[in-house]
């Protein structure tokens, strides 16, 4: 849905009622990224960009350094993903003084069988997927068709800065 939002946000403030075609096009774009290249690092890096950026912004409120632990796939691919994500870190550090130095990199040295944190992440992701499959209305509860951007002002927007 992030691809759908990006596709329409320049021209519209809200999503139209039927986004099925836009969603299918976005899914096809991701599939092309995945299936047309032998190396999947471009797709994996693209998928990791949004959560890593979100964690960096959230954890900067606490001045908390963090490292992303990534379940290894294929050695060369892991190195490529690591380079791309750490390049993102350099960009984030230049854009925000609060983020500079907090992202400690991507670590793909331990498989999930050996890393408790990855096992917990797998468990939580699986349980969340099962919960959302059982209660699909939760996927849209409280949402609107409004496109939220850096410039939008939401009715329930809460902004606060916390320093410990």
Co-location of 28 and 105 in the same domain: no
- pTM value? 0.59
Co-location of 46 and 24 in the same domain: no
> Distance (Å, rounded) from C-alpha 62 to C-alpha 98?
10
Residue 12 has a pLDDT of 82
Residue 139 has a pLDDT of 83
Convert the pLDDT of each residue in 118-134 to its tens digit. Answer: 889 889 999 999 999 99
Q: How far is CA 85 from the centre of its chain?
A: 12
Residue 129 has a pLDDT of 94
Convert the pLDDT of each residue in 149-159 to its tens digit. Answer: 777 776 665 56
Co-location of 51 and 74 in the same domain: yes
Task: Tell me if 25 is assigned to some domain.
Answer: yes
- How many domains in the chain? 2
Convert the pLDDT of each residue in 39-56 to its tens digit. Answer: 778 888 888 888 888 888
Mean pLDDT for the chain overall: 82
Residue 135 has a pLDDT of 93
- The predicted model gives 73-91 an average pLDDT of 84
Give the list of residues 6+ apart from residue 92 with CB closer than 8 angstroms, or none: 53, 56, 99, 103
Co-location of 85 and 111 in the same domain: yes
Co-location of 46 and 19 in the same domain: no
Task: Tell me if 156 is assigned to some domain.
Answer: no
> Distance (Å, rounded) from C-alpha 64 to C-alpha 15?
35
Co-location of 21 and 45 in the same domain: no
Confidence label for 138 from pLDDT (cuts 50, 70 and 90): confident
Co-location of 63 and 125 in the same domain: yes
> Are 145 and 9 in contact, with CB atoms under 8 Å apart?
no
Co-location of 31 and 56 in the same domain: no
- At residue 142, does pLDDT exceed 90? no
Residue 129 belongs to domain spanning = 41-138
Task: Tell me if 160 is assigned to some domain.
Answer: no
Residue 161 has a pLDDT of 62
Residue 158 has a pLDDT of 57
- The predicted model gives 63-67 an average pLDDT of 88
Co-location of 21 and 57 in the same domain: no
> Distance (Å, rounded) from C-alpha 130 to C-alpha 124?
10
Task: Tell me if 151 is assigned to some domain.
Answer: no
Task: Tell me if 158 is assigned to some domain.
Answer: no
Co-location of 113 and 56 in the same domain: yes
Co-location of 56 and 69 in the same domain: yes
Co-location of 59 and 105 in the same domain: yes
> Distance (Å, rounded) from C-alpha 116 to C-alpha 60?
25
């Amino acid at each position: 849905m992030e691809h759908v939002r990006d596709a329409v946000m320049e021209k519209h403030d809200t999503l139209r009622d039927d986004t099925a075609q836009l969603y299918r096009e976005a899914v096809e774009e991701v599939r092309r990224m995945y299936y047309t290249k032998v190396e999947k690092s471009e797709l994996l890096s693209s998928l990791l960009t949004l959560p890593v950026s979100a964690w960096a912004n959230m954890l900067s409120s606490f001045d908390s350094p963090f490292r992303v632990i990534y379940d290894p796939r294929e050695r060369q691919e892991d190195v490529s993903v690591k380079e791309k994500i750490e390049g993102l870190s350099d960009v984030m550090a230049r854009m925000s003084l609060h983020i500079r130095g907090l992202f400690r990199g991507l670590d793909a040295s331990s498989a999930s069988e050996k890393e408790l944190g990855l096992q917990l992440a797998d468990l939580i992701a699986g349980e969340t997927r099962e919960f959302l499959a059982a209660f699909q209305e939760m996927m849209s509860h409280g949402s609107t068709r409004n496109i939220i951007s850096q410039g939008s002002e939401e009715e329930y927007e809460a902004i606060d800065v916390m320093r410990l």
